[in-house]
Chain A
Amino acid sequence: AQSVTQLDSQVPVFEEAPVELRCNYSSSVSVYLFWYVQYPNQGLQLLLKYLSGSTLVKGINGFEAEFNKSQTSFHLRKPSVHISDTAEYFCAARNTDKLIFGTGTRLQVFP
């Protein structure tokens, strides 16, 4: 069965510092991987996606993620965060019809 693990429930960081949000997936078949962001009282917005090809994927708002097949990881990174990046971040995997989400990581950016 397909599953997505986000080990960090919360990540506190100071403004302008780099950040990495971790995601691991498990699947016996090829998967398509996504990161979504959820701001308070809003729906989920697509940050980036990995389908195939280059393992480094760039998304919106300066975020990027690297697909690592051997480690079954898809970690999200940003070299310098802003206060406005404070939100919940979800990693997700889709290999058939369903999109399966991790439990989310709360990124809190402090001034």
Chain B
Amino acid sequence: DAGVIQSPRHEVTEMGQEVTLRCKPISGHDYLFWYRQTMMRGLELLIYFNNNVPIDDSGMPEDRFSAKMPNASFSTLKIQPSEPRDSAVYFCASSFRREGSPLHFGNGTRLTVT
């Protein structure tokens, strides 16, 4: 299995632009998670899906952030409009539903908003 695949690996954009991050989870996994990592705040859970349905988006910082999972093999995290404070590494992870299943992480997207 190729693991969790995220694209792009790096994204540099100007403030005010729309940014879309993409994720392909491991085939057969039931859960998909979006995390954000910064030096100041560490790893923060933004949102997660179970069988393509958003379960908890309480970690999404503002209405500028939105996430979708149109099917079991694809998810997007969108920021519109982007701001410099959104600069971070964004990770996607997936797992099986059964209790105690570990999360498998992608290599992340490093976002820089200037």
For A33, the closest partner residue in chain B by CB is: B100
Q: Is B105 an interface residue (CB 8 A)?
A: yes
Least CB distance, A1 to chain B, in whole angstroms: 12
Kindly state the separation between the CA atoms of A32 and B31 in the bound complex, as whole angstroms.
16
Interface string of B27-51 (1 = CB under 8 A from A): 0000101000000001101001010
B100:A51 contact, CB within 8 angstroms: yes
How many A-B pairs have beta carbons closer than 8 Å: the answer is 48
A49 contact set on B, CB distance < 8 A = 100, 102
**Interface size in chain B (residues, C-beta < 8 A):** 22
Interface string of A9-35 (1 = CB under 8 A from B): 000000000000000000000001010
A97:B108 contact, CB within 8 angstroms: no
B56:A44 contact, CB within 8 angstroms: no
A97:B42 contact, CB within 8 angstroms: no
Least CB distance, B30 to chain A, in whole angstroms: 10
A32:B100 contact, CB within 8 angstroms: yes
Q: Is B99 an interface residue (CB 8 A)?
A: yes
B107:A99 contact, CB within 8 angstroms: no
B102:A46 contact, CB within 8 angstroms: yes
Least CB distance, B12 to chain A, in whole angstroms: 15
B93 contact set on A, CB distance < 8 A = 44, 99
A98:B48 contact, CB within 8 angstroms: yes
CB-defined A-B contacts under 8 Å, sample of 21: A41-B110, A42-B108, A43-B91, A43-B106, A43-B107, A44-B91, A44-B103, A44-B105, A51-B99, A52-B100, A97-B31, A97-B48, A97-B50, A97-B56, A98-B45, A98-B48, A98-B56, A99-B33, A100-B45, A101-B42, A101-B43
Q: A41-B107, A41-B110, A99-B103 are in contact. List 13 more A-B contacts (CB 8 A).
A: A42-B108, A44-B93, A44-B105, A51-B99, A51-B100, A52-B100, A94-B103, A97-B31, A97-B55, A97-B56, A98-B45, A98-B56, A104-B43
The 8 closest A-B pairs by CB, nearest first: A43-B105, A32-B100, A51-B100, A44-B105, A101-B43, A43-B107, A103-B42, A46-B102
